[in-house]
Structure 1
Amino acid sequence: MSATRAWDITTGSDDLVVAVIDTGAKLSHPDLSPNAWVNPREIPNNGLDDDGNGFVDDKNGWNFYDKNKDVFQSASDDLHGTHVAGTIGAVGNNGEGTTGVAWHVKLMSLKFLGGSKGSGSTGNAIKAINYVIDQKNRGTNVRVINASWGGGSDSQSLREAIAAAGNAGIVFVCAAGNGGDDGFGDDIDEIADFPADYSTSLDNVISVAAIDSGDNLAGFSNFGHSSVTVAAPGVGIWSTVPDVREYAPISGTSMASPHVAGIVALMLSNKPSLTPKQVRDVIVSTAEPTGALASKIVSSGRVSAYNALTETPAAKSKPVITHASVSKKKLTIDGVGFLDGSSIIEVNGVAISDIKYDSSYSVGNGTMSRLRSEPGKKTIKKMFPTGQFVNLTIFNPTTGERSPQFATARF
């Protein structure tokens, strides 16, 4: 994610608040307590609603699950939110066990998930979002919500609450989801998962897939060319936990989302004037394209903290084919480093005609992740004899670069 280079520019701001809508979080953890948000308009533990917002003694946020001020209930109940909070904003360079993406940030804990299954209601999620908006309107510089949850059905009320957050200048970063009961990620362009799918209609929503250390899409991670914005590390992520271990590795798109939320916090600390749409556009346009993500998510790439802070598109890579499919009428090729309007598809070294460049597969660095050709049944039958493998290559005439061969067949 190029975080080390990003920290040479900024490590965040003690004035900027990220709301963690999740289970509770143990903000007394030694790596979190200096970055815990404290409501400046509330006197703790006096039994009064000092700021008149309808919540008594909401010092660090609110517990919507249990309907009280205690954002941390127990180690078993609030492990998830504590881990997420640490990835966003564990204190950096303090000699403790881990470092968050944003060293300097304030963490607001809003608990709406709980119980043995870590479940919660859409109604309480909406209440938590509205709490964030109200705090923003009261002068709290809360600019980011992290939502490492999903799986519910479409809710017009939830959509409207997230849209209202965007209108208030708040970026909503959410997990793409961990697939269904089979444990494998789903294409949520086809099988909707909310709130991640709201990224297709709300420009303040950034949905995040999980990748491993080799930039491969995690097997459990949802994906979607239109509905998942970007990818971030989500396998074996080391962060804060509320039990005697204090730190532990956990995997999930829930662990990927807070990496992006932390980067957004760095961006808004460095350039507060950015709108939610501008933030999302920069995240997409500066992501690092990878073959494993080609055409599977909006950006086809891994988030880059340094690129996002400097608003620098990723360098163009040499062409590489990662997937190809052939039907009776059509050839479709996915990969990285394809050039819009000039890349040539070659079949066993022979250029194929009628190449289509679909702008919806454009990548932020000026390349494309998908090429198609529909030369007709006769040409397809001739160039792709049934059951016989052929070698595909992509040639970029403007650079003289040719991809490695990729074998495919029509069956």
Structure 2
Amino acid sequence: MNNVKAKVKIKSKLLYSIVFLVLIGILSTYIWKLNSEKRNLQNNYIDDWAIYNYGQTIEGTKGTKGIDINILPAWKKILPKENIIVAVVDTGIDIYANNMSNNIERNKKDTINEIDDDHNGLIDDHLGWNFYDNNNTIYENELYDYYGTYIATTITKVNPKARIIPVKFLKSTMGTSNDAVEAISYAIKRGARIINCSWNFNEYNNVLYEVIRDNPDVLFVCSTGNRNSNIDKDLLYPCSYGLDNIINVLAIDNRGEIYEASGYGSSTVDLGAPGVDVKVTLPNNEVALLDGTSVAAAYVSGASSLILGKYPNLSAKEVKERIIKSATRLETLRNHCSSGGLLNVGKSNK
């Protein structure tokens, strides 16, 4: 089969904003290539090496067969008992991207009627909440909300039955740890078992630490940043809190090599997941290839929701241990993370 390529058009305003986000260290991914043409995922399935890597060439790099998340066999066997709620605490989400509307966990206690029906202090948080603007607008536009969108669509790609709560606390280049704490607290009250944290802060925040520590039944899946730093030494939060319910994810390419900008750490980082030239869906159903640890974390969030769907009584720590122990060991990752391995969805669900 031939590699399928699409024409690429970089949107300068969007690209400059992304570069700035990376430089100031708030977000953990940047757009590598943004396709101007909408591409049918099914017709271009050949490109999605994270799902099935048979050695195809992506953007000039020939992959290594088997370096993928081993999910195809798992999809045939997995029969989830429950549909697990995953909160995407990030930018906003285009809930119509990749037909994701049916995956959104709606707040049935608060309909859209300009009344706080459930008396939680948030008017009409039917779909989620925007803690940056303090309103119920969970999607504004492509420029502000592509991050949360591709995180959510990646999670639902791994687990099509995952329930997603959009919880926005980032807007373009702005976001605070205090807003992150409020967003996390809200997600937990809404029933999230998994919270995807594809963002980092350089400074320790005790309130953020406490909200994670005090909710041991919630698994926090964290990206490790894109600064090519050893976060065993150069601490990064939430990754460096050292809690049993935090799992930290670095990014690899289609050969099993660590992404050149990925954060790493033989004791702090747990495992790797796809994060170079990874196919994702953006707002308005645009398709892009991305580099970075943010999307790598999303793969682990999706895998975690599959495990909890099948074994809903597992604790967050037990899910984490299952994912780490089942990772596919790679010599290339031996000194970069504690497991020395790549996410293996099939094995983790046995």
Q: Confirm or deny a common fold (TM above 0.5).
A: yes
Q: 2:81 touches 2:312 (CA, 8 Å); kept in 1?
A: no
* Inter-CA distance 41–15: structure 2 relative to 1 (3 Å threshold): farther
Question: Displacement, 1:28?
Answer: 2.2
Q: 1:11 touches 1:103 (CA, 8 Å); kept in 2?
A: no
The within-5 A match list for 1:173-212 is: 173-179=221-227, 185-198=228-241, 201-212=242-253
Aligned partner of 1:258 among 293, 298, 316: 298
Secondary structure in structure 2 of the residue aligned to 1:206: strand
Q: 2:266 touches 2:337 (CA, 8 Å); kept in 1?
A: yes
Question: Displacement, 1:241?
Answer: 0.7
Partner of residue 149, structure 1: 199
Secondary structure in structure 1 of the residue aligned to 2:269: coil
What TM-score do you get using the length of structure 2 for normalisation? Answer: 0.78
Offset from partner CA, 1:20-51 (integer Å, 9 cap, x none)? 0000010122421121111121112x011111
Q: 2:326 touches 2:344 (CA, 8 Å); kept in 1?
A: yes
Q: Structure 2 counterpart of 1:80, which letter?
A: Y
1: distance between equivalents of 2:136 and 2:214? 24
1: distance between equivalents of 2:130 and 2:79? 29
Unaligned ranges ≥5, structure 2: 1-68
Aligned partner of 1:215 among 256, 265, 268: 256
Question: Displacement, 1:135?
Answer: 1.8
1: distance between equivalents of 2:102 and 2:182? 26
More strand by share: 1
More helix by share: 2
Q: Structure 1 counterpart of 2:91, which letter?
A: T
Secondary structure in structure 1 of the residue aligned to 2:136: coil
Partner of residue 306, structure 1: 346
Question: Displacement, 1:197?
Answer: 1.3
Structure 1 runs of 4+ off > 4 angstroms?
11-14
1: distance between equivalents of 2:188 and 2:96? 25
Partner of residue 67, structure 1: 134
The within-5 A match list for 1:294-333 is: 294-310=334-350
Partner of residue 101, structure 1: 158
Offset from partner CA, 1:239-294 (integer Å, 9 cap, x none)? 22114x52212111001000000000000000001101101111111111101100
Unaligned ranges ≥5, structure 1: 90-99, 137-141, 180-184, 311-411
Partner of residue 147, structure 2: 80
1:268 aligns with 2:308: yes
Partner of residue 384, structure 1: none
Partner of residue 405, structure 1: none
Question: Displacement, 1:151?
Answer: 3.3
Q: Structure 2 counterpart of 1:153, which letter?
A: E
The within-5 A match list for 1:222-241 is: 222-241=263-282
2: distance between equivalents of 1:30 and 1:295? 37
* Inter-CA distance 14–274: structure 2 relative to 1 (3 Å threshold): closer
Q: 2:98 touches 2:281 (CA, 8 Å); kept in 1?
A: no
Over aligned residues, Cα RMSD in angstroms? Answer: 1.3
Partner of residue 17, structure 1: 85
1: distance between equivalents of 2:209 and 2:181? 9
Question: Displacement, 1:11?
Answer: 6.5
Secondary structure in structure 2 of the residue aligned to 1:126: helix
Offset from partner CA, 1:293-336 (integer Å, 9 cap, x none)? 002211111010011111xxxxxxxxxxxxxxxxxxxxxxxxxx
Q: 2:109 touches 2:118 (CA, 8 Å); kept in 1?
A: yes
What TM-score do you get using the length of structure 1 for normalisation? Answer: 0.67
Partner of residue 132, structure 1: 187
- Higher RCO structure (Cα 8 Å, ≥6 apart): 2
Q: Structure 1 counterpart of 2:265, which letter?
A: G
